[in-house]
Amino acid sequence: MRTGGCQCGQIRYAITGEALALYVCHCLECQKQSASAFSVSLQVQSAGFRLTQGEPKEWTRDTDSGNRLVCAFCPNCGSRLFHRPAAADGEALVGNAWPGDTMTVKAGSLDEPVDLRPATHIWVSRKLPGVEIPEGAAQFPEEPA
């Protein structure tokens, strides 16, 4: 099990099951969201994620791939916590029964740090000059299919 939460401690979560992937995303949205060169996200099964304390605020945005993404953050400290697919029009959400099989958790919000060596780098077409991707790391110019 992995646990994590926001910077101020108001929001906490737990994840069961193995991580599906680890992404370093160089897209413009992740650069803005992280106020840095990229963001790091752990892809997990939605069914294995549960909030254990607090309620995050959410906002929804369009993605470069044409999907809609729900972005969750702490209403107190503003820490970004996770992303999940937006519900289709008219789709009801019940508790943690979110649409889609997977979601991504912001790796910096985990209690235990992740090892970036196996990470897949995505949107490298938008990578900032000077950012070095390790030799042999999987990478995609945009989002993989």
**Distance between CA atoms of 110 and 2, rounded to whole angstroms?**
7
The DSSP element (H or E) to which 34 belongs, if any, is helix 28-34
In this prediction, residue 100 carries a pLDDT of 65
pLDDT tens, position by position, 94-122: 444 455 688 999 999 999 999 999 999 99
User: CA-CA distance, 25 to 122, in Å (whole number)?
Assistant: 5
The continuous run of DSSP H or E covering 120 comes out as: strand 120-122
Does 93 have pLDDT greater than 50?
Answer: no
> Which residue range forms the structural domain that includes residue 81?
2-126
Closest to 72 measured CA to CA, from 4, 2, 1, 127 = 4
Rounded to whole angstroms, how far apart are CA atoms 103 and 36? 22
Q: Residue 30's pLDDT band (boundaries 50, 70, 90)?
A: confident
Contacts of 6 (CB under 8 A, 6+ apart): 54, 56, 73, 74, 76, 77, 79, 81, 109
Does the pLDDT of residue 140 top 80, yes or no? yes
pLDDT (tens digit per residue) in 8-26: 999 999 999 999 999 999 9
Is residue 142 included in any domain, yes or no?
A: no
Residue 63 lies in a domain: yes
Please state, rounded to an integer, the average pLDDT across all residues of the chain: 87
The 3 state secondary structure assigned to 42-93 is: EEEEHHHEEEEECCCEEEEEECCCCCEEEEEECCCCCCEEEEEECCCCCCCC
Q: Is residue 132 part of a domain?
A: no
Q: pLDDT value at position 37?
A: 86
Average confidence (pLDDT) over 18-38: 89
Q: Give the count of domains, the chain.
A: 1
Residues 110-138: what's their mean pLDDT?
94
Q: Identify whether 139 is part of a domain.
A: no
